[in-house]
């Protein structure tokens, strides 16, 4: 059956059917950019391009799966063939294939953020920077950003030497030590996956030419969030056929803190002078009111390509902005709105709650739990980061890669084997002094001074155990291998015994059971495609998972996530919460203009996820890490020209207290709810004029009569509290 392009508008069609050569689809949210990529791939396949010679890069594994699924629908039998991957997964595939060219071992381990932190901490100690190890996360991100910019340790050192800022020189030394350790462990961090692939393609002509020839078409979604390494990789791969299609929205670039460079998309036409540019303006996702609010916010950004979206949709509910006294009330208010929606026939899976920072999720969780509504948090503590799961995965890593000292030191004494801290230190010192991996130090334990004979015996036992496992897992599937590890390491028995004394042990056993189920499920899926999954493949799959990947949109539950993670997704009902100065935009008054613009883009992303209903909430006070802060409503609410319903009117209009979620008492010392002050004519949200400060908007009111005070945010950004009686303030 020929591909039906009737599901595309003329501009989308132009993108999908563009014959070849560079193509840029630059368009706002919800205009069908991702749809264009999918149809374009289907169209290429229909035109005879072999599916396996098309590379489609997406932002998450989940998006890649979704893309394959849609292609499969459009071109049966072809979905699985297309290389649809994230950048990292793609690089991993290439590096496994060509590991020898880079001197990597086949089963290189992929280190996650916590492994990175551990290695940076060790490197700092080695350099005599013990006192500063609390800064390890900062150095992890400096190193990661350097890799995003394709600066290896040596290049970074040269760059740092020229820098005035001495902390860069410290970072450079840490980077060198860290990289040495990483390499000795036969491990790659996330940045390395990209960096090493770029190095491979740059330095190895035959590999480069092979891939340049092989991929006939290259398509990249969410191109606005690519970093320099991804940019170079894309350009290199597309150099021969020049069939490169990038899709994105400069207004949705929200990952600059992770190295993304918005210039990549803005300068695509400079890089590819003959690029065809398609712009899409019709939005298919949201109601006109939602689009209007999104537009009013984003138009305040100076560095953007102007564009305005329109929709054929009509009507829709108005956007509701609500001020609440505090974060607990914010959560219970949302729960009441959810209840309302459910009574109108909506389902939980249609609802999503977004917040700026992970710490905000707790009050929503509590309120939802009290109300008995199912919810799921995306990107909270990942399953694979749990202690028992990570322990097991570290066993698996060591079995596959003995050089992985970080993982080996983790499992050395779990279950407890009587190899204590001091013994580990001696083993590690010996390894460091002799340029050995920890594993090799184990093998030479007889030569190490100061080890007790019982410790030596235990080290020998551990070596024997790991060698046995190594020999045993070869022919096993991933599930079989993990079961064998669990049994032979004594981990399972140990945890079982622990249940008598440790109340958490039972939960840990459940989690391990869940891990085994997950592996089996994954194996079954692969079996249907005629593939078998060995331990190495499984470890790689796990390492490359991103926060969003586990999200199952059909699960009957409210979804909670940060706005960052919501990029590319859509929900009928969205709660955008914590819209307060200082929180969203984060930092507010202290931010550089670029940072504020990024916060605004983030707000734009949040608003444009909503298909039908959008609620925006802000709390007058909020407890953050134990401290209570009084917050003004976010400037984004004002920019959207939406008036907040004050806490007081909400209280008056509130239905009978929600039966399952009683309203908590307001803490003492609460500021008086703002009340409209008719006598002066000032109202919350009204526009005012001041002879010296100019125009502004009333953000907050307190007191009454002679004591009436208003807090005004003037258009130049200044926020001032004024006693109305004395202030030369009038309504504008």
Active-site residues, by number, are 33-34, 221-222, 252, 609
Among 23, 24, 26, 29, binds ligand ATP (CB under 6 A): 29
| Cβ-contact 237, 203 below 8 angstroms | no
Note whether 243 and 218 are within 8 A (CB): yes
568 or 585, CB closer to Mg ion?
Answer: 568
**Nearest position to ligand ATP, beta carbon:** 32
304 binds, among Mg ion, ligand ATP, none (CB under 5 to 8 A by kind): none
Q: Does 70 sit near ligand ATP (CB under 6 A)?
A: no
Cβ atoms of 218 and 24 closer than 8 Å: no
Binding span for ligand ATP by CB under 6 A among 32-40, 59-67, 396-404, 550-558: 32-40
Peptide bond into 415 cis (omega under 30): yes
Q: Which residues are registered as beta bridge partners of 627?
A: 624
CB of 66 to ligand ATP, least distance (A): 10
Residues 570-599 that bind ligand ATP (CB under 6 A): 570
Shortest CB 590 distance to ligand ATP, Å:
30
Residue 447: both structure tokens together: 């030569």
Q: 23, 26, 33, 311: which one contacts ligand ATP (CB under 6 A)?
A: 33
CB 40 within 8 A of CB 15: yes
Window contacting ligand ATP (CB under 6 A); options: 6-14, 74-82, 626-634, 675-683: 6-14
Nearest C-alpha neighbor of 563 from the set 576, 551, 581, 582: 576
Q: Which helix (H) or strand (E) holds 714?
A: strand 709-714
Q: At what angle do helices 166-184 and 113-126 cross, to 10 degrees?
A: 110
Does 248 bind Mg ion (CB under 5 A)? Our answer is no
Tokens representing residue 587 in the block: 């930092």
What's the closest the beta carbon of residue 286 comes to ligand ATP, in angstroms? Answer: 9
Nearer to ligand ATP, 39 or 491 (CB): 39
Contact string 254-293 vs ligand ATP (x = CB under 6 A): ------------------------------xx--------
- Say what angle helices 228-237 and 87-97 make with each other, to 10 degrees: 60
- Residue 567 or residue 683: which is nearer to ligand ATP going by CB? 567
Using CB distances below 5 to 8 A depending on partner kind, what does residue 8 bind out of Mg ion, ligand ATP, none? ligand ATP
Q: How many other β-carbons are positioned within 10 Å of the β-carbon of residue 232?
A: 20
27/708 with CB nearer Mg ion: 27
CB of 74 to ligand ATP, least distance (A): 13
The smaller minimum CB distance to ligand ATP, of residues 37 and 588, is found at 37
- Single out the segment in contact with Mg ion by CB under 5 A; choices: 26-34, 139-147, 173-181, 323-331: 26-34
**From Mg ion, ligand ATP, none, which one binds at residue 714 (CB under 5 to 8 Å depending on kind)?**
none
Which is closer to ligand ATP, CB of 31 or CB of 711? 31
In terms of CB distance, is 33 or 68 closer to Mg ion? 33
The residue (of 479 and 568) whose beta carbon lies closer to Mg ion is 568
User: How close are the terminal C-alpha atoms of the chain, in Å?
Assistant: 63
Cβ within 8 Å of residue 672, ≥6 positions away: 702, 703
194: helix, coil or strand? Answer: helix
Residue 589 exposed, middle or buried by CB count within 10 Å (0-12, 13-18, 19+): exposed
d(CA 565, CA 358): 11
State yes or no: residue 34 binds ligand ATP (CB under 6 A).
yes
Stretch that binds ligand ATP, among 25-33, 44-52, 379-387, 585-593 (CB under 6 A): 25-33
Q: Which long-range contacts (CB under 8 A, 24 or more apart) does 489-498 make?
A: 489/395, 489/411, 489/415, 489/465, 490/415, 491/391, 491/392, 491/395, 491/414, 491/415, 493/415, 494/414, 494/415, 494/416, 495/388, 495/415
- d(CA 538, CA 400) in angstroms, rounded, equals 12
Collapsing DSSP states into helix, strand and coil, what is residue 249? coil
Assess 568 for contact with Mg ion (CB under 5 A).
yes
- For the bound state, the minimum distance from the C-beta of residue 249 to Mg ion, rounded and expressed in Å, comes to 8
Q: Output the residue with the shortest Cβ distance to Mg ion.
A: 34
Minimum Å distance from CB 59 to ligand ATP? 9
> What is the size of the binding site for Mg ion (CB under 5 A)?
3
Helices 491-498 & 505-528 angle (0-180, nearest 10): 140
Q: Which among ligand ATP, Mg ion, none contacts residue 581 (Cβ within 5 to 8 A by kind)?
A: none
CB of 89 to ligand ATP, least distance (A): 20
In the complex with ligand ATP, the residue whose CB is nearer, 223 or 693, is 223
How far is it, in rounded angstroms, from Cα 133 to Cα 474? 39
CB of 510 to ligand ATP, least distance (A): 37
Give the DSSP per-residue string, 510-522: HHHHHHHHHHHHH
In angstroms, the CA 167 to CA 171 distance is: 6
Q: Which of 316, 536, 568, 578 binds ligand ATP (CB under 6 A)?
A: 568
CB distance 267 to 235 below 8 Å: no
**Partner whose footprint covers residue 658, from ligand ATP, Mg ion, none (CB < 5 to 8 Å by kind):** none
CB of 285 to Mg ion, least distance (A): 10
What does the longest C-alpha to C-alpha distance in the chain come to? 90
Task: Please report, as residue ranges, which positions from 30 to 49 form the binding site for Mg ion (by CB under 5 A).
Answer: 33-34
Q: Based on CB atoms, which residue is closest to ligand ATP, 249 or 580?
A: 249
Contact stretch for Mg ion (CB under 5 A) within 155-163, 565-573, 696-704, 711-719? 565-573
249 binding ligand ATP? (CB under 6 A):
yes
**Bridge partners for 610 per DSSP:** 571
Phi-psi region of 283 (alpha: psi -120 to 50; beta: other; left: phi over 0): beta
Identity of the residue, 34 or 283, whose beta carbon is nearer to Mg ion in the bound complex: 34
249 interacts with, out of Mg ion, ligand ATP, none, CB within 5 to 8 A per kind: ligand ATP
30 forms part of the interface with ligand ATP (CB under 6 A): yes
CA distance 323 to 632: 10
- The nearest distance, CB 42 to ligand ATP, in angstroms, is 14
Burial 61-97 (b: 16+ CB within 10 A, else e): bbbbebbbebbbebbeebbebbbbbbbbbbbbbbbee
User: Quick one: 192 or 249, whose CB is closer to ligand ATP?
Assistant: 249
Q: Give the span between the Cα atoms of 129 and 152, in whole angstroms.
A: 22
Q: How far is the CB of 562 from ligand ATP (least distance, A)?
A: 16
Cα–Cα distance between 231 and 448 in angstroms, integer?
49
From the list 28-36, 187-195, 530-538, 615-623, the region that binds ligand ATP by CB under 6 A is 28-36
Q: How far apart are CA 354 and CA 563, in angstroms?
A: 5
Q: State in angstroms the smallest separation of the CB of 37 from ligand ATP.
A: 8
* Closest CB to Mg ion among residues 84, 459: 84
Instruction: Out of 3, 5, 9, 300, point to the residue binding ligand ATP (CB under 6 A).
Output: 9
CB count within 10 Å of CB 220 equals 25
| Least distance to ligand ATP, CB of residue 264, Å | 16
**Size of residue set near ligand ATP by CB under 6 A:** 17
The residues of the shown chain that bind ligand ATP, judged by CB under 6 A, are 7-9, 12, 29-35, 249, 252, 284-285, 568, 570
The residues of the shown chain that bind Mg ion, judged by CB under 5 A, are 33-34, 568
């Amino acid at each position: 059956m020929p591909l039906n392009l009737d599901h595309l508008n003329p501009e989308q069609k132009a993108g999908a059917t563009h014959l070849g050569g560079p193509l840029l689809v630059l368009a706002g949210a919800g205009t069908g950019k991702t749809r264009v990529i999918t149809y374009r791939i289907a169209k290429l396949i229909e035109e005879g391009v072999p599916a396996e010679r098309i590379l489609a890069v997406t932002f998450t594994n989940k998006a890649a799966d979704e893309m394959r699924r849609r292609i499969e629908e459009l071109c049966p039998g072809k979905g699985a063939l297309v290389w649809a991957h994230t950048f990292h997964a793609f690089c991993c595939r290439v590096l496994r294939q060509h590991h020898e060219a880079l001197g990597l071992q086949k089963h290189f381990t992929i280190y996650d953020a916590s492994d990175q932190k551990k290695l940076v901490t060790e490197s700092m100690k080695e350099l005599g920077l013990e006192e500063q190890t609390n800064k390890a996360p900062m150095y992890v991100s400096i190193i990661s950003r350097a890799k995003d910019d394709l600066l290896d340790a040596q290049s970074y050192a040269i760059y740092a030497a020229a820098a005035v800022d001495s902390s860069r020189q410290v970072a450079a030394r840490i980077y060198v030590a860290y990289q040495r350790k990483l390499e000795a462990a036969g491990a790659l961090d996330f940045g390395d996956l990209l960096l090493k692939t770029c190095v491979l393609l740059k330095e190895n002509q035959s590999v480069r030419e092979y891939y340049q020839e092989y991929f006939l078409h290259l398509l990249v979604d969410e191109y606005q969030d690519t970093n320099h390494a991804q940019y170079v990789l894309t350009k290199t791969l597309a150099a021969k056929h020049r069939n490169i299609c990038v899709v994105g929205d400069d207004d949705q670039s929200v990952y600059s803190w992770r190295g993304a460079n918005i210039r990549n998309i803005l300068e695509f036409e400079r890089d590819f002078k003959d690029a065809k540019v398609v712009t899409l303006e019709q939005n298919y996702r949201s109601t006109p009111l939602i689009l209007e609010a999104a537009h009013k916010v984003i138009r305040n950004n100076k560095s953007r390509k102007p564009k305005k979206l329109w929709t054929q949709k009509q009507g829709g509910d108005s956007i509701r902005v609500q001020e609440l006294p505090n974060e607990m009330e914010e959560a219970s208010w949302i729960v009441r709105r959810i209840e309302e929606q459910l009574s109108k026939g909506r389902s939980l899976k249609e609802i999503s709650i977004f917040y700026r920072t992970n710490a905000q999720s707790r009050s929503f969780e509590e309120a939802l739990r009290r109300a008995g509504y199912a919810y799921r948090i995306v990107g909270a503590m990942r399953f694979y980061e749990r202690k028992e799961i990570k322990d097991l995965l570290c066993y698996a890593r060591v079995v596959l890669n003995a050089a992985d000292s970080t993982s080996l030191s983790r499992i050395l004494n779990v279950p407890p084997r009587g190899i204590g801290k001091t013994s580990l230190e001696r083993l590690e010192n010996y390894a460091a002094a002799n340029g050995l991996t920890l594993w090799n130090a184990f093998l030479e334990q007889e030569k190490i001074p100061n080890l007790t004979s019982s410790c030596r015996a235990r080290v020998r036992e551990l070596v024997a155990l790991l060698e046995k496992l190594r020999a045993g897992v070869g022919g096993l599937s991933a599930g079989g291998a993990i079961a064998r590890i669990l049994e032979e390491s004594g981990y399972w028995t140990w945890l079982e015994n622990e249940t008598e004394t440790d109340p958490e042990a039972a939960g840990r056993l459940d989690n391990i059971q869940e891990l085994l189920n997950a592996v089996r499920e994954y194996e079954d899926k692969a079996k249907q495609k005629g593939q078998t999954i060995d331990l190495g493949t499984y470890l790689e799959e796990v390492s490359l998972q991103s926060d969003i990947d586990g999200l199952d949109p059909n699960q009957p539950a409210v979804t909670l996530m940060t706005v960052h993670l919501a990029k590319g997704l859509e929900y009928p009902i969205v709660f955008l919460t914590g819209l307060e100065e200082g929180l969203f935009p984060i930092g507010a008054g202290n931010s550089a203009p670029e940072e504020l613009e990024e916060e605004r883009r983030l707000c734009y992303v949040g608003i444009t996820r909503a298909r039908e209903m959008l609620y925006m909430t802000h709390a007058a006070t909020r407890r953050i890490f134990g401290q209570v802060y009084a917050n003004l409503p976010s400037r984004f609410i004002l920019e959207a020209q939406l008036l907040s319903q004050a806490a007081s009117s909400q209280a008056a209009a509130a239905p009978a207290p929600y039966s399952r979620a009683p309203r908590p008492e307001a803490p003492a010392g609460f500021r008086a709810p703002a009340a409209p002050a008719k006598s002066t004519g000032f109202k919350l949200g009204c526009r005012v004029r001041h002879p010296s400060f100019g125009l502004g908007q009333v953000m907050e009111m307190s007191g009454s009569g002679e004591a009436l005070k208003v807090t005004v945010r003037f258009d130049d950004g200044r926020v001032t509290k004024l006693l109305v009686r004395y202030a030369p303030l009038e309504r504008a």
